[in-house]
Structures are given as C-alpha cells and as structure tokens.
Structure 1
Amino acid sequence: MGEPRALTKHQRYSLSGRLAAVAAALCLTSATVALLPAPSSAATGPGGETVAAGGHTARISRTEYGIPHILARDFDGLGYGYGYAFAQDNVCELADQVVTLRGERSRFFGPDGESGEGSNLASDTYYKGQRRAGTVQRLLDRKAPLGPTAELRRMVEGYAAGYNRYLRDTDVGKLPDPRCKGKPWVRPITPLDLWSVVYDVNKVTAEVPLAPDIGDAKPPTADAGGTEAPNTPDSKGEAPSETSGATAATPIAPGAPDAQGLATADVGSNGWALGRDATRTGNAMVLTNPHLPWTVGNFRFYQVQLTIPGTLDVSGAGLYGTPLVEIGHNQNLAWTHTASDAQHASFYALKLVPGDPTSYVVDGKAERMKRRTVPVSVRDENGKLSTVDRTLYTSRFGPVLSSAWTTKTAYAIRDANADNLRSMNAWLAMGKAHNLAQLRTAQNTYQGIPWTYTLAADTSGGTYFTDSSAVPHLTDAQLGRCTLPAGEETPAALDGSTSSCAWGSDPDALVPGVYGPSHQPKLSRTDYVANSNNGPQYTNPEAPLTGLPGVYDIDPRLDQRPQLGLRMIAQRRDGTDGLGAPGFTEDTLRASMLGNRVLSAETGRDDVVDMCRAHPSLTAADGKEVDVRQACTTLARWDTRADATSRGAALWITFYAHLLGEGPPDTWHRVPYDPAQPLTTPRGINGDDMRVQRALASAVQDFAARDLPVDTELGAVQKWAGIPLPGCDVGCFDVVEAGPDSGTGTPPAGAFGTSFLMAVELTADGPRAHTLLTYGESANPASPHYADQTRLFSRKQWVTERFTQAEIAGDPALKVTTLHS
C-alpha cells in the first residue's frame, strides 16, 4: 500500500495546507503501520506509545540488490530490524569489529596480526585500556546533548538485540558466511559494543590509526641512549615472548599525523549540492561520492532505508556497525559529506625530565605521565592462553606514542573527537530535518559531526556548505609560535612545554578545546556548493571563503580532482561538456559522475604525445633504451577517459605514477602553479624534461615485464572479484585504485575509491534518486549481493531508488521478513 507524497512548501504555509498536511500524516501513519503485525501482547513504551511485548516489532522489505527497507513503530523496533538485516549480510564484519574493540584479537588470533609482529597485542592494549578506563561508558552516562538521546539509546539497544536474534535464529555453526561459520569469536554483542564502534569511527582520522603505536608505547631506559624497557611489567602463565615495538626515534608511521599534528586516514570524497540556479528543472540536486576502502570492515557503507511513520523516513547509507543513515535524504532534504581538510588532532612534543622519561615539563614544572596497567589475553602457537600485563602512558595532551620516544622527548596526540558520541545525535536530527535551517540547528545543537564537511540542499532550491566538524581551537598566532618543525624522523608538533600552546575554547562550543559554530566555515547559495577534499575556500569560486583560522584551511591550493569537479560543474552550467543543453538534469548529473574524465590527461596527454613523437626511443630509469612508438600511438588514440574499456588509460596511470615519483609536480608541469589562477594551474607536462621521458619509458617497461600490450584495457588490470573497474587516481573524479585481482583473495586484495553513489533530485512531489553501492550490500563472497552492484558500476548503470511504500511494494522480487519479539 502506498503512502501520499508531502505537500509543497507553499501549501504548507497556508491554513488549508497545514490541515491537509496533518491529514496526510495521519493517513501515512495508519496506512503504513498497518503493514506491521499486531503484537500478541502489548506494553507501554517510554513515550506512552504501544509496543510489542519485548519492545521489538519490525518489517524488513528487501528490494533489488538486497537493499533493506526497515519499517517499525518506534526506535526500539527500527534498531531491531536494522541490526537483524545487517547481520544477515555482514555478520562476520561486525563480529570481527567487536573482537578488535574489546581488545581480544590476541586471544583469538595470537599476538601477531597482518600488520606485523606484535600488532594484535599492541592494538589490544589500546582498546582494552579504553574499556578498562570506561571511556565510552563515561560518555554514555552524560545526558543529551553531550550524551546520546533517549531515542538513540533505544535504537542501539534494539540493533544489538536484532543482531543477536539473527545469531540465535541461524546458529553460529550454520552461518552462511564461511569466513566466520562456527568460529568462537562470533558472539552476541551489547549496546556498549555498538557505541564503541561509533566512538572508533569518530576518531578514525586521528587517534585510531595510531592505536598500535599508543598500545606499544614504552619508555626508553636512561642508560642505553634510548633503548626501550619492555612493556611487560608482569605476566601470568606462559605468555609468548613479546616482540619489541618501535625503537627510540622511530619515525611516525605513514598515514599518521602530519604538519602541526593533523592526523589523516585513508578517506576522501566528492560532494555536490546543486541549487535551483544550476538545474534545468529548478529543483535542487545532491551528488554523493565518498571514497573509502572497499575491504576495511568498519569503513564500508551499508545502504538502508529507515522508517517510523510520522517520525522518520530517511534513505541512504551508514558505515558498518553504526545505527543510522549518515549520508542520504528524506522527503525534503538531502545531504552528503566529504573528508574535511581541517585539523582534527594535534601532536604535542613533550620535554622530558632528565633521568625520568615518564615525566615531562610544563611551564617549568614536572608532571608525571599517568599509567594504566592493562591485562591482555594472548593465545600462543599451541593454542594455550595466558595473560600479559601491559602499560599505557598518558599525558595532559593525550596518549603517548611509542614512535620517537627518546630520553629527551616523547610525543602525545590530542584528538578533538576524544569526547564525541554526539555524532549519532546530529545524524538522527538531520534525518528528521525538513529543511536546511533545521539541518543547521541539528548540527549546532549537537556539534557532533566528527571529521567531515557537510553539503546539503532542500526543496526550496537552496544549498548549504559547512565544516561543522570538531576542530582544535588553535589560533594562527599559536600555530606560528608553538609549532616545532619536523625532523628527519620526527613529526611537526606543538610545544608541550608551555600551557600557552594548549587548545583554547569558544563560548558557543558545546565542549572545551574546539571551535564553536560561530567560527565554522559556512556558505549558502542558490547555484551550488562543491567539495573534493580541498579546503573550504573554493567551495564556490564566485564566493570564496577566506579569513578562516589556519586550522580550517591548511593548503588552499586545489589538487586535480577538485579542479576537475569545479570544471565539470562550470561546463555543465554553460553546456560545453557535450551532454546537451546547459543546466543539470537528473540524467546529466549521473552522466557527469560516471563520465570518468581524467584531468591530468585532458591537460597533459597532448604534451606527452608530442614528446614521444619527437623521441620514439627513450631512456628508462634503469638506463636502457625503450621503443615507445606503440605507446605513443596508444596515447594519441585514447579519449582521455578512464572507462573500464578504455585503451590507453592503464598506460597513462602507470606513466603518471612514475612521473609523480620523479619529483614535485611543479617542477615538471608546463605551466606551474599560479596563485592568481588557482582553478587552472598547474597544468600541462613539459616533454623536454628528462624525468617525463624517463617516466614514459619506464611505464612501457612495466607493461613488457607483465607481458601486456600497452593498449591493454583498463578493466583488464583493474578488477574487483574479477569484474573490470573504471576510474583512477591520477586526476580522475571517479576515484578507483585496485589491482588485477582485488577482491578475489589473491594479492593485491585491496581496493579503494568510489563506494556509495547517490544522485537525488528534490522535487515538490518527493525525491527522485538513483544509487549505487559499488561493492554490494554484503561482504560475504558467497552472497548474491557481494558484487552484484559492482557489475552495474563496471557498466555505468545505476539502481533506481524505491522510496515510497508503493514503490517498495512494486518490486516483483520483493522479499519481506517480519520480526516480532
């Protein structure tokens, strides 16, 4: 049975419109709830509503490609249905996450993980220490807005119950996923486990990538010039010998915090919000294109629709193990996120007390590091369990790292999201919001968005951009006088020997140490706002955002991907992109997204072709002469697109990778970067530069070494589960990085890039959306939904979203599961 569409904005503002809206809401509630079974017995819920005995009733309707639509009377049931549906598809992933977050990897898999010797033990130390400190529970004990709202608590409790219901119904020994079937580490979960997932996601661009480093931190011995003392003050039973962690002055691991302590993770995205002045219909549109790893459990997206009639109706995607839609739309509003370029953490250099490497000096006074002993269960190679006691070290500036800890200096990291469980409050309120004003209120009230920009639009045709994420309150003056330069093996960091380098606060900030809404970048437009992981300055070049604190805009220069994104919008608006009349339509928005343009080739391919035509034989990096004539012909014929069937794209990607290894781009671009032309420079490739010539010769050698012709199709060498993939990461908008065997279990078994795609138009009659989850709903290789959407992605096809109950019911392959406890 269908549900009526919402009334237009003008109708809602009239008296008759308001009455009609009330009538429509009553009709929606009664009609839709009728789809749910009546409980055999009833009880009164916290809000006075009638719920099933046990508090859990939900309907899971699965449409094409296994996309679940969860319908419930209340948040208990909504979470119950969501947890059950997610477990059906990804029980192994969440079970594995819980093992990590409980600090139990060494217990089940031994102390050595995939990351190297002792990596599980170090990770367990960090997470077990977090549990023993009661960090997440302490945040849960707070009242909203600092702690979760009552609705969210009920939803998370329901999610845990739904997941556990699936385990009971299915039996661990009969799970359909062979990766965890019958495994002892697949166990019931608790709400605390789920809140720990949320907390971990919130810190993933700062402290979390350094968890093993924190867990392996050991002070050096004073008499050995930095030799570490073992992190085993006591052991019980026959513990396996621990491998030593990083030695003193070991450099910070790649991908960890960089200049001034900014920590980064392997995340990225494109996001557009197009207003009424940029579309042919006058309706706002939103394009969602997050770039995330395809193989990391808690960083994959799960697509879902969550509906409580009259309360919530939101469709989109959320990260594994989180209880909400974090990117999506409702009837009147759509939003997306891209990774913020702002700092979300700071390194602090601690000046140690001579002779005592666990004490440091602040304002001339010594302070001792806090220590916490953490018992970790470890399984040895014979399967025997023992307990190893480890020690965590913490300073006033945050946990201490193993890396670069000498007798003189130690490093600590302070994460701006260390007190953040508020993110779910913000996303739930955003899902309920009817317009951009309410979205802004949601973000300002809870201040919980952890590390992303927000781009949004509503049915008024307006758009909105903000960085409402948690950003350390550091002034430019502080950064100037407090930043200690990086060394060969040490990061740039703030001076921890003086309290004047500590974070400040804003009066309107919900928690201390961060900037409040009054200082956050914001832009409202009726044409567009856009971001591709560049700073906020060029969100819309016609209205540059300037004068921001330096922590928000670390480098205003635009990389090729944001340059390409802005170029694509400009060309679509004036109709010069080959896609027809000016202005965006739903069709041209999708075509733009999957056009697979490569800016590095658009601006440099002809230069390279001219070079190789002039020099048919070039010298490679190993000094050998290489015939590049066939490569030259291939590049000349290539259309500069990175489609799966493109011939020349694979060669260009390989050539450009060699070129990037030859030195900074500004040194071999034909036109260098010009601050006066930020949208179009640098560009071109200087074919007279020997490094350019050497890069092409070396690329041709690479193909010969793999016995591949230089005109090999891109999809032949870039695959997931054997399916050819489009996209690239050398100036592509559609970012994809993958090897020939990605996802097949054969190295390299990783992929990264475009994950959840959504193109939505917000019309007066309701949203019209197309979506694509590039790796499918399930991480189980045996599932029919493991790579079904990957095949669509390979062919540039989308899934037409089913949003209304009538659209859902109209799926001829609809599968319905009704849960009732």
Structure 2
Amino acid sequence: MHNSSPRQKFIGPIVLCLAAAISSCSERSMEEVSVVTELPVMDAVVDLPLTNEVQVRWTDYGIPHIKANSWEGLGYGFAHAIASNTICVLAREFVVVRGEQAKYFGAPESNINQDAFHRALLNQDKLDDYLAYASADSKAMDVGYVRGYNDYIEQHRGAMPESCNNQPWITSINESDLARITIGVGIRYGLGRVVNEIASSRPGMELAQLQALDLEIDRNMIGSNALGFGRALTDSGRGILMGNPHYPWHGSSRFHMAHLIYPGELDVMGVGLITTSRIAIGFTEHIAWSHTVSTALRFTMFQLDLVPGNAMAYRVGDDVHDIEAIEVEVETSDGIVTRIIHMTHLGPVVPWAGNAMD
C-alpha cells in the first residue's frame, strides 16, 4: 500500500458486481388459485419469439407462480407480481437510483448527496457498458420486466396504496432504469456506505476537516444465513440446504418469494430482493443454493499519493494520473444544485481521516 500526503488521503474503491445464471429443464405443477394475467403483445425489441399470454397464479402466503412461454413473458409476469405486492417501495427505489430524491422528497444535504452519487456513478455510458454484456435471453427478460412494470402502473393509476397513490414520482421505467437499480442494489453495502464522503470530497481538504469512516454493518438488520446438512444426517438420505431471511423485514431490501417457469428452459423457486429482477437465492429440480452476509468490506480501498503541490493528481508507481472532476446537476424544487464528484482510474475519491482498516 502506498503512503499518502499527510494533508490528505484519497481512497478509490472498486466494486465488482456478480450475477448468477440459473437454468433447469423441469416443469412443476401449480395449483391455480386466483389470477391469470393476460400479457399484451409486445413490440419486438430482440430477435426472440414473443408470446401473448403469461399466467400468474397465487398460492398461500402470497407466493406468485409465474409461467410463460418466452423470456419476455417471464420478465413481464415477474415485474407485475412484484409491483402488485410492493409498488410503492419499488417505485421509490427507482427515484433513488435515478438521482431524483431532491426533486420529489425535499433537498436536505443527504438527498442531494445521494442524487449526486447515483447520477455520477450510474451515468448512461456505464449503463450502456453494463447492458452490452447481457445475453439475448437476459435482455429479453429485461424488456418484459420493464413492460410488466409499466403496464401495472397504467392499469392501477388511482388505485395504488395510500403512500404512493397518484404521486408524481410513480413513473414508467426503461431498460436503463432497470440496469440502474440492479447496479445500485449491488453497491449499496459497498460504495453506498460512503455516499456522503464521495459527494463532499474536494481538493485541498485539511485533516482537521476530515472524519473517520464508519464501515461497520448494522448487525441487528442483516446477518449470516444458511445451514447445509449432508445425506448422512437426513432421513431422506439426500442433502438439505436450509436458509433463513437475513435481510431487513421491511423496505427495499426485503426478500420477495416467487416461482418462475419457462417450460423447457427454466423452473426455479426462491427469493430476490424487491429491487432485483431475478431470483437470487433458491432451488431448481437439481440444485439449491444460497449466499450470505459477512462483515467483510464490499469494496477495495486504495491509498493514493498526491503529487506535491497538486491536489488533483496522484502517483501510482512512476505514473502520474489526474483526478477527474465530474460536475453533476441535481434537480430540486427550488432549482438546480451542482455537485462535483471526483474520480480516479480506480474509482471515486473518498476523503478520510485515519486508517479505515483499524
């Protein structure tokens, strides 16, 4: 690790977002109970066959079983089901990742910082790069998800829960917004823990102006999960994976359970966060899996040496790099507020006092 100038320390975190793909070829039976949702014919956005019907069947405990004959249809039904359970929370999160909190919910410093952070890091170039790596099937599911979400809004205007009914921030989304929320959720417990520091960094800050970083997780809100039992310990002679909800019971990080069926392609049941458009933890006919929460940092911190006399440049070995100043406009009810987000080639600048690893 390089040592920094005694006046200032810059940290450039890097976050890696991981995605899992799941595939299975069995079809499970479902008990039909109340709802069959017709899927409108969608415009052809990708070269895949489209369907005009998706079934959403609800069973006990409010679990949607979504069956479709295309990836678009599967995404459509999934979005429609999640929105029907928690439209206000999900719509609020789209406001967050679009950087529009100060526009709709007032402009305290915390909202302005959040908006500047998301607008700088989730800009269109980064979203385009992210979307370029998606497979054709994944893109098709995203197209369906967007259409399902938007159709739900149009079908339920004036009939949503009181907390968001007829609110101006209930708006349609597009594929870029879906990418925003996917990435935004992925960095929430990484870079999302230093939003205020990133949004308030500026050159030449004295040590007396800096504060130590608090990188501890709230152990009462999230924690570890999953117990695995080998076949030697089970009555069935087969392995068992037991998971428990280990994220908050309320809000955007709450788990949402669903069963997705695309005959011949996918049959998976499990949970994702309200804000994720895929099953993240669950099981197929052949495999069950889980993941967990630990106290490890979800980003890598680099301590950088500033060039003497130039607070906007730093050294890495023998190379000198400039710090990029990105001007971000945040809309409020009183007009536009400007923030500067500073970026290195390793990530955003985080000013801090002391050793964050202590």
TM-score band w.r.t. shorter chain: 0.7 to 0.9
Q: Is 1:77 aligned to 2:73, yes or no?
A: yes
Question: In 1, Cα distance between the equivalents of 2:143 and 2:303?
Answer: 41
Question: In 1, Cα distance between the equivalents of 2:100 and 2:159?
Answer: 23
Q: 2:146 aligns with which of 160, 167, 179?
A: 160
Question: In 2, Cα distance between the equivalents of 1:346 and 1:128?
Answer: 21
Which residue of the partner structure matches residue 150 of structure 1?
A: 136
Query: What is the CA deviation profile of residues 275-314 of structure 1, one whole-angstrom value per residue up to 9, with x for unaligned ones?
Result: 21121220221101241122341x1110111111121111
Shift of the 170–285 alpha-carbon distance from structure 1 to 2, 3 Å rule, reads: same
**Contact 1:70-1:307 within 8 A present in 2 as well:** yes
Shift of the 344–265 alpha-carbon distance from structure 1 to 2, 3 Å rule, reads: farther
Question: In 2, Cα distance between the equivalents of 1:205 and 1:174?
Answer: 34
State the AA in 1 paired with 2:96: T
SS at match of 1:179: coil
Shift of the 351–287 alpha-carbon distance from structure 1 to 2, 3 Å rule, reads: same
Shift of the 203–110 alpha-carbon distance from structure 1 to 2, 3 Å rule, reads: same
Question: How many angstroms does 1:111 deviate by?
Answer: 1.9
Which residue of the partner structure matches residue 267 of structure 1?
A: 222
State the AA in 1 paired with 2:238: N
State the AA in 1 paired with 2:51: V
Which residue of the partner structure matches residue 15 of structure 2?
A: none
**Contact 2:50-2:70 within 8 A present in 1 as well:** no
Which residue of the partner structure matches residue 127 of structure 1?
A: 118
Which residue of the partner structure matches residue 442 of structure 1?
A: none
Q: 1:188 aligns with which of 172, 177, 187?
A: 172
Unmatched segments (≥5 aa) in structure 1: 1-23, 113-117, 142-146, 227-246, 257-263, 380-384, 405-486, 494-821
Which residue of the partner structure matches residue 395 of structure 1?
A: 344
Question: In 2, Cα distance between the equivalents of 1:199 and 1:181?
Answer: 27
Which residue of the partner structure matches residue 355 of structure 1?
A: 309
Query: What is the CA deviation profile of residues 480-506 of structure 1, one whole-angstrom value per residue up to 9, with x for unaligned ones?
Result: xxxxxxx4xx4239xxxxxxxxxxxxx
Question: In 2, Cα distance between the equivalents of 1:120 and 1:252?
Answer: 19
State the AA in 2 paired with 1:326: A
SS at match of 2:350: coil
Which residue of the partner structure matches residue 295 of structure 1?
A: 250
Query: What is the CA deviation profile of residues 224-260 of structure 1, one whole-angstrom value per residue up to 9, with x for unaligned ones?
Result: x55xxxxxxxxxxxxxxxxxxxx6221113437xxxx
Shift of the 277–165 alpha-carbon distance from structure 1 to 2, 3 Å rule, reads: same
SS at match of 2:246: strand
SS at match of 1:292: coil
**Contact 1:303-1:317 within 8 A present in 2 as well:** yes
Query: What is the CA deviation profile of residues 186-208 of structure 1, one whole-angstrom value per residue up to 9, with x for unaligned ones?
Result: 11111211221211222233212
Question: How many angstroms does 1:174 deviate by?
Answer: 2.8
Question: How many angstroms does 1:329 deviate by?
Answer: 1.1
State how 1:697-708 maps to structure 2 within 5 Å.
Answer: none
Shift of the 265–216 alpha-carbon distance from structure 1 to 2, 3 Å rule, reads: farther
**Contact 1:371-1:392 within 8 A present in 2 as well:** yes
**Contact 2:38-2:54 within 8 A present in 1 as well:** no
TM-score, with structure 2 as normaliser: 0.82
Which residue of the partner structure matches residue 566 of structure 1?
A: none
Which residue of the partner structure matches residue 235 of structure 2?
A: 280
Question: In 1, Cα distance between the equivalents of 2:236 and 2:87?
Answer: 43
Question: In 2, Cα distance between the equivalents of 1:47 and 1:372?
Answer: 37
Query: What is the CA deviation profile of residues 151-194 of structure 1, one whole-angstrom value per residue up to 9, with x for unaligned ones?
Result: 111111111111111111111x331x111112111111112112
**Contact 2:71-2:144 within 8 A present in 1 as well:** yes
**Contact 1:80-1:155 within 8 A present in 2 as well:** yes
SS at match of 2:86: helix
Shift of the 331–341 alpha-carbon distance from structure 1 to 2, 3 Å rule, reads: same
SS at match of 1:269: coil
Question: How many angstroms does 1:28 deviate by?
Answer: 7.9
Question: In 1, Cα distance between the equivalents of 2:220 and 2:127?
Answer: 22
Shift of the 96–333 alpha-carbon distance from structure 1 to 2, 3 Å rule, reads: same
Q: 1:174 aligns with which of 156, 159, 163?
A: 159
Q: Is 1:374 aligned to 2:328, yes or no?
A: yes
Q: Is 1:214 aligned to 2:198, yes or no?
A: yes
Query: What is the CA deviation profile of residues 419-470 of structure 1, one whole-angstrom value per residue up to 9, with x for unaligned ones?
Result: xxxxxxxxxxxxxxxxxxxxxxxxxxxxxxxxxxxxxxxxxxxxxxxxxxxx
State the AA in 2 paired with 1:104: E
State the AA in 1 paired with 2:194: L
Which residue of the partner structure matches residue 569 of structure 1?
A: none
State how 1:22-101 maps to structure 2 within 5 Å.
Answer: 49=49, 51-52=51-52, 57-101=53-97
Which residue of the partner structure matches residue 11 of structure 2?
A: none
Question: In 2, Cα distance between the equivalents of 1:183 and 1:364?
Answer: 54
Shift of the 181–45 alpha-carbon distance from structure 1 to 2, 3 Å rule, reads: closer
**Contact 1:270-1:289 within 8 A present in 2 as well:** yes
Question: In 2, Cα distance between the equivalents of 1:42 and 1:96?
Answer: 26
Question: How many angstroms does 1:326 deviate by?
Answer: 1.0
Which residue of the partner structure matches residue 210 of structure 2?
A: 249
Which residue of the partner structure matches residue 274 of structure 2?
A: 320
Unmatched segments (≥5 aa) in structure 2: 1-24
Which residue of the partner structure matches residue 491 of structure 1?
A: 356
Question: How many angstroms does 1:124 deviate by?
Answer: 0.7
State how 1:395-544 maps to structure 2 within 5 Å.
Answer: 395-404=344-353, 487=354, 490-492=355-357
Which residue of the partner structure matches residue 703 of structure 1?
A: none
State the AA in 1 paired with 2:255: F
Which residue of the partner structure matches residue 17 of structure 2?
A: none
SS at match of 1:90: helix
**Contact 1:304-1:317 within 8 A present in 2 as well:** yes
SS at match of 1:158: helix
Question: In 1, Cα distance between the equivalents of 2:291 and 2:235?
Answer: 24
**Contact 1:122-1:212 within 8 A present in 2 as well:** yes
Question: In 1, Cα distance between the equivalents of 2:42 and 2:139?
Answer: 21
**Contact 1:217-1:393 within 8 A present in 2 as well:** yes
Question: In 2, Cα distance between the equivalents of 1:300 and 1:219?
Answer: 39
State the AA in 2 paired with 1:150: A
RMSD, matched Cα: 3.2
Question: How many angstroms does 1:59 deviate by?
Answer: 1.0
State the AA in 2 paired with 1:105: Q
SS at match of 2:243: strand
Query: What is the CA deviation profile of residues 317-373 of structure 1, one whole-angstrom value per residue up to 9, with x for unaligned ones?
Result: 111121221111122221111125655422222222333222222225543211111
Question: How many angstroms does 1:392 deviate by?
Answer: 0.9
Question: How many angstroms does 1:268 deviate by?
Answer: 2.0
Shift of the 121–265 alpha-carbon distance from structure 1 to 2, 3 Å rule, reads: farther
Which residue of the partner structure matches residue 98 of structure 2?
A: 102
State the AA in 2 paired with 1:492: M
State the AA in 2 paired with 1:161: R
The aligned length equals 330
Shift of the 350–51 alpha-carbon distance from structure 1 to 2, 3 Å rule, reads: same
Question: How many angstroms does 1:41 deviate by?
Answer: 8.0
Shift of the 170–69 alpha-carbon distance from structure 1 to 2, 3 Å rule, reads: same
**Contact 1:351-1:361 within 8 A present in 2 as well:** yes
